[in-house]
């Protein structure tokens, strides 16, 4: 088992837990990543030639490096009797199995939960799917498919132009919920000695994400409008164009409105009785935003950002993801750290967004080369 202490000499919570990961793309690897970062020995089973995400381009170019650190790579041909036998033997030494393949594939190979649980009743098995059991369970799904089905794309784009979110939010969060389920199942196993199957579904995850919009409808009887045309409860909560760029600015209370007027040095706004309360400002929001837009055109991003920061008002420059590579907070707080890539070069990796006792679960091993640990791992089987 993995028993290597961290660089601080402190042990990680899941050290001693062994995980066999049958996965590809994002959802399954995210689940394995979380368990690996928390100290589990995660053995990623790759096909001959390696996981296809190693060779993807475009928006998929960063998939492998983003979701596969701290894992061991073992290459097995599951279509061969020898490869399948080795996989089953490895599962016999494991605490957890992760899979996110199409419905029915694991059962066809005898690697489904029902089959494995007969010989390994303590096994925790997490199945990451498009849909949980129900009428849709045999459909294939993608992040974009469920964003369309659950209303996230409708809420994101302008009316009549559904737009997917700009990241694989359901794949990543579906993997997160799978990892939460694994932790709960391992804790319950401590009491009962028995494992169980955990399932996480993309569609259900996306439905959970838009649950507040559903509740809004159930309470009001009115279907929510897409975010670009929504009815905002706050008068100032928008992106403004300044002299040299754009800035999101929020003033969500009467107090913050007064502070914003002071920052902008506009006592006339503060003295206007039609703008005295948030409800009054919301009632004339389009006119107010147009007025603020004219005022803000004369300000510069850096100068106004500093003043908003000093005043304690919420604001944000409009950043691109590539700009995070030099973000001072991410670098100084330890969220973005160097890692050795599978080709021997050094890249940066974004750590999990939480701390344990003041420390982030970090990089314990480089990104694995294809099959790098096959000999080491199979040697445990006498292979």
From residue 228, give the alpha-carbon distance in Å to each of 95, 157, 163, 245.
46, 7, 11, 20
Phi and psi at 6, nearest 5°, equal: -70, 175
What local confidence, expressed as pLDDT, does residue 2 receive? 40
Q: Does residue 108 surpass a pLDDT of 90?
A: yes
CATH of domain 232-322: 3.30.1540.10
Interatomic CA distance for residues 317 and 194, integer angstroms: 51
For residues 339-356, average pLDDT? 95
Q: Is 292 exposed, middle or buried (0-12, 13-18, 19+ CB in 10 A)?
A: buried
Is pLDDT above 50 for 3? no
Mean pLDDT of the chain: 94
CATH 3.40.50.10540 occupies which residues in the chain? 18-209+329-381
CATH topology of domain 18-209+329-381: Rossmann fold (3.40.50)
How much of the chain is helix, strand and coil, in % rounded to 5?
45, 15, 40
Q: What is the pLDDT of residues 162-190, one digit of tens each?
A: 999 999 999 999 999 999 999 999 999 99
- The torsion angles phi and psi of 96, rounded to 5 degrees, stand at -140, 140
pLDDT confidence of 353, banded at 50, 70, 90?
very high
Q: Is 344 left (phi over 0), alpha (psi -120 to 50) or beta?
A: left
User: Is 279 annotated as catalytic?
Assistant: no
Burial, 222: exposed, middle or buried (Cβ in 10 Å; 0-12, 13-18, 19+)? exposed
| 237-262 confidence digits (pLDDT tens) | 999 999 999 999 999 999 999 999 99
Residues of the chain with CATH 3.30.1540.10: 232-322
Mean pLDDT in residue range 259-270: 95
Residue 6 clears pLDDT 80, i.e. is over it: no
Where does the pLDDT of residue 1 fall: very low under 50, low under 70, confident under 90, or very high at 90 and above? Answer: very low
Give the pLDDT confidence score for residue 9 in this predicted structure.
61
Selecting among 51, 95, 112, 171, the annotated active-site residue is 171
Of residues 11 and 376, more confidently modeled: 376
What's the chain's Rg over C-alpha atoms?
25
pLDDT, tens digit, for every residue of 51-73?
999 999 998 999 999 999 999 99
């Amino acid at each position: 088992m993995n028993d290597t202490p961290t660089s601080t000499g402190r042990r990680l919570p899941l050290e001693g837990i062994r995980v066999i990961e049958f996965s590809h793309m994002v959802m399954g690897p995210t689940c394995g990543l979380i368990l690996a970062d928390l100290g589990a020995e995660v053995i990623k089973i790759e096909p001959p030639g390696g996981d296809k995400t190693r060779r993807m381009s475009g928006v998929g170019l960063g998939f492998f490096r983003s979701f596969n650190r701290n894992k061991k790579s073992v290459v097995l041909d599951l279509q061969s009797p020898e490869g399948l036998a080795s996989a089953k033997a490895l599962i016999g030494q494991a605490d957890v199995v992760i899979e996110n393949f199409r419905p029915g594939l694991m059962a066809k190979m005898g690697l489904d939960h029902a089959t494995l649980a007969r010989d390994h009743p303590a096994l925790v098995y997490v199945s990451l799917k498009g849909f949980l059991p129900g009428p849709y369970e045999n459909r294939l799904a993608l992040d974009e498919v469920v964003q369309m089905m659950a209303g996230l794309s409708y809420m994101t784009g302008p009316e009549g132009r559904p737009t997917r979110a700009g990241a694989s939010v359901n794949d990543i969060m579906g993997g997160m919920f799978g990892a939460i389920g694994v932790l709960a199942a391992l804790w319950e196993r401590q009491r009962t000695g028995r494992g169980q199957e955990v399932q996480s579904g993309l569609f259900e995850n996306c439905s959970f994400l838009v649950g507040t919009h559903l509740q809004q409808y159930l309470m009001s009887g009115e279907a929510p409008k897409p975010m670009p045309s929504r009815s905002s409860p706050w008068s100032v909560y928008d992106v403004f164009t300044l002299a040299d760029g754009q800035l999101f600015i929020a003033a969500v209370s009467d107090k913050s409105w007064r502070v914003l007027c002071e920052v902008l040095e506009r006592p006339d706004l503060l003295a206007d009785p039609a703008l005295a309360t948030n409800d009054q400002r919301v009632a004339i929001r389009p006119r107010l935003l147009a007025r603020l837009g004219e005022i803000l055109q004369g300000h510069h991003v850096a100068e106004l950002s500093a003043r908003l920061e000093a005043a304690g008002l919420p604001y944000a420059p409009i950043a691109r993801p590539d700009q995070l590579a030099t973000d001072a907070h991410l670098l100084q707080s330890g969220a973005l750290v160097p890692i050795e890539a599978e080709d021997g070069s050094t890249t940066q990796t974004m750590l999990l967004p939480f701390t344990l006792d003041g420390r982030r679960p970090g990089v314990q091993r480089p990104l694995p080369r294809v099959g790098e640990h096959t000999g080491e791992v199979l040697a445990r089987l006498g292979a």
